[in-house]
């Protein structure tokens, strides 16, 4: 079985994101970019399934500019077998557009499993995996914290608001990862060298004949209202009287 994993290039999660003064977006100049953390977990899970003999090949895919090669190389260094970059320069690649594009790759590659992160930490949309599953007409198991593949079905434990939900889906299916699914491995220096020789195919978005869906128009970006630093108190009685005076105790 082949596993297709999506890898999105996003601002690194340690960066304190700044909104540009003119409200046109967030500052990306000179900002560290990384693999979306949930996608890194997706890659790790696919690798573990290959190492367990469940999968035979792990293909990673990204949609975007040439810069996305860096994140695909990271995934290759982790151990993925090959990479596909759908070149989409200066395209506003919103989730539905991405899902339609990924569907084309799915039709080409015929994976038994697609694993995506549950959300990308830039737009925080939490949509693409679900949308791909819908368009593909296949099951979805979102927010997975445990995944067991058994023949032609997969049993997934999902992190939901009420606790842990278990569902069983027939393959092929789309799984989206939650943080506790696994802990991604560290990439070692020799692996980075090896990754340079692994195949990375580029496909122009135009060549996939994806029908561009309607998208949301982003009007203005603003920094969030700031909570200001409050008071440091001396002791518990001071806290209790402060809370009482504010009417919350």
122-161: contacts with other proteins (CB under 8 A): 122-128, 130-135, 137-140, 142-143, 145, 155, 158-161
Dmax (CA) for the chain in angstroms is: 69
User: Phi and psi for 105 in degrees, rounded to 5?
Assistant: -65, -40
Question: To the nearest whole angstrom, how small is the minimum distance from the Cβ of residue 40 to other proteins?
Answer: 14
Report the distance separating Cα 154 and Cα 173, nearest Å.
8
208-220 burial code (b ≥16 CB/10 A, e <16)? bebeeeeeeeeee
Of 66, 110, 164, 204, the one binding other proteins (CB under 8 A) is 164
Residue span 35-74 as binding mask against other proteins, x where in contact by CB under 8 A, dash where not: ----------------------------------------
Question: To the nearest whole angstrom, how small is the minimum distance from the Cβ of residue 27 to ligand FAD?
Answer: 20
Query: Any contact of residue 242 with other proteins (CB under 8 A)?
Result: yes
Residue with smaller CB distance to other proteins, 76 or 132: 132
Question: To the nearest whole angstrom, how small is the minimum distance from the Cβ of residue 156 to other proteins?
Answer: 9
Are 120 and 10 in contact by the 8 Å Cβ rule? The answer is yes
Query: Any contact of residue 117 with ligand FAD (CB under 6 A)?
Result: no
Query: Any contact of residue 121 with ligand FAD (CB under 6 A)?
Result: yes
Sign of CA dihedral 189, 190, 192, 196: positive
Query: Any contact of residue 213 with other proteins (CB under 8 A)?
Result: yes
State in Å, rounded, how far the first CA of the chain is from the last one.
Answer: 59
- Of the candidates 162, 99, 144, the one whose C-alpha atom is nearest the C-alpha of residue 125 is 99
Given ligand FAD, other proteins, none, residue 232, with its beta carbon under 5 to 8 Å by kind, binds: other proteins
Q: What residues pair up with 117 in beta bridges, in sequence order?
A: 177
Question: To the nearest whole angstrom, how small is the minimum distance from the Cβ of residue 240 to other proteins?
Answer: 5
């Amino acid at each position: 079985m082949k596993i297709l994993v999506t890898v999105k290039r996003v601002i690194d999660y340690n960066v304190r994101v700044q909104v540009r003064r003119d409200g046109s977006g967030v500052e990306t100049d000179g900002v560290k970019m990384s693999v979306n953390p949930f996608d890194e977990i997706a890659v790790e899970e696919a690798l573990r399934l290959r190492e367990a003999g469940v999968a035979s090949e792990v293909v990673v895919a990204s949609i975007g500019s040439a810069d996305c090669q860096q994140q695909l190389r990271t995934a290759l260094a982790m151990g993925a077998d090959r990479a596909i970059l759908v070149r989409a320069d200066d395209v506003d690649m919103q989730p539905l557009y991405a899902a339609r594009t990924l569907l084309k790759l799915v039709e080409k590659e015929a994976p038994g499993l697609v694993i995506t992160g549950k959300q990308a930490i830039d737009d925080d949309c939490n949509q693409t995996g679900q949308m791909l599953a819908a368009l593909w007409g296949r099951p979805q198991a979102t927010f997975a914290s445990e995944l067991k593949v058994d023949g032609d079905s997969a049993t997934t434990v999902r992190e939901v608001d009420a606790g842990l939900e278990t569902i069983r889906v027939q393959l092929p299916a789309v799984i989206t990862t939650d943080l506790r699914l696994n802990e991604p491995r560290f990439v070692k220096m020799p692996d980075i060298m090896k990754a340079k020789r692994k195949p990375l195919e580029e496909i122009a978005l135009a060549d996939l004949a994806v029908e561009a869906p309607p998208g949301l128009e982003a009007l203005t970006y603003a920094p969030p209202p700031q909570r200001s630093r409050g008071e440091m108190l001396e002791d518990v009685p001071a806290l209790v009287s402060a809370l009482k005076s504010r009417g919350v105790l």
